């Protein structure tokens, strides 16, 4: 089952945290960020994809070193729709932040400094998206598990899932 299917399942399941309001809040925050920075939707999708891929790598490393519980705790702590520099610092070293901004700038034409300023908003949004699959009973997170994609086939893209969720919600 794909990431988007897991998100829809979480929204439909009363035992998981996902809701249309949560997904709608994330979509609104992405749109507001796009408007505030003047980035078009295509460039914003590329930035989300690059950041999402780096979040995935950082969470996979954390999972390998500290276990799934530590990853879920980090997601729980930093998931949101407002700026949180601590969320970025918990996943990326300053050098990695610069590298993510540089790669995104090269692929989008958005200034790297602007992308670095976006990271404290984008990272909590990605984590919030992942938190939608958290069980209210505390026994797992289907969305996070799918995102981490243990088999490593690389077919997970947070920007694609967000775009599908936006279309699903008619935004």
- Domain-wise residue ranges, the chain: 3-168
Least confident of 20-29, 98-107, 150-159: 150-159
Flag whether pLDDT at 5 surpasses 70: yes
Q: What pLDDT is stored for residue 155 in this prediction?
A: 53
**What confidence score (pLDDT) does residue 33 get?**
81
Measuring CA to CA, which residue among 50, 59, 22, 34 is closest to residue 165? 22
pLDDT tens, position by position, 112-164 = 999 999 999 999 999 998 888 887 777 788 888 888 865 555 455 666 666 66
Instruction: Identify which has the larger pLDDT, 14 or 127.
Output: 127
Angle between helices 68-78 and 41-66 (to 10 degrees): 140
Residue that is written with structure tokens 């404290």 in the block:
120
């Amino acid at each position: 089952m794909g990431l988007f299917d897991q998100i829809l399942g979480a929204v439909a399941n009363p035992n998981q945290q996902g809701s249309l309001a949560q997904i709608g809040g994330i979509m609104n925050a992405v749109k507001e960020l796009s408007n505030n920075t003047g980035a078009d939707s295509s460039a914003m999708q590329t930035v989300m994809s690059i950041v999402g891929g780096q979040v995935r790598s950082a969470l996979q490393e954390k999972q390998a070193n500290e276990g799934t519980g530590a990853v879920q705790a980090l997601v729980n702590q930093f998931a949101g729709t407002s700026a949180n520099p601590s969320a970025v610092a918990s996943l990326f070293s300053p050098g990695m932040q610069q590298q993510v901004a540089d790669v995104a700038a090269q692929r989008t034409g958005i200034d790297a400094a602007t992308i670095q300023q976006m990271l404290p908003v984008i990272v909590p949004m990605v984590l919030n998206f992942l938190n939608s699959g958290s069980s209210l009973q505390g026994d797992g997170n289907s969305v996070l598990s799918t995102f981490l994609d243990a088999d490593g086939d690389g077919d997970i893209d947070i920007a694609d899932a967000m775009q599908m969720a936006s279309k699903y919600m008619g935004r």
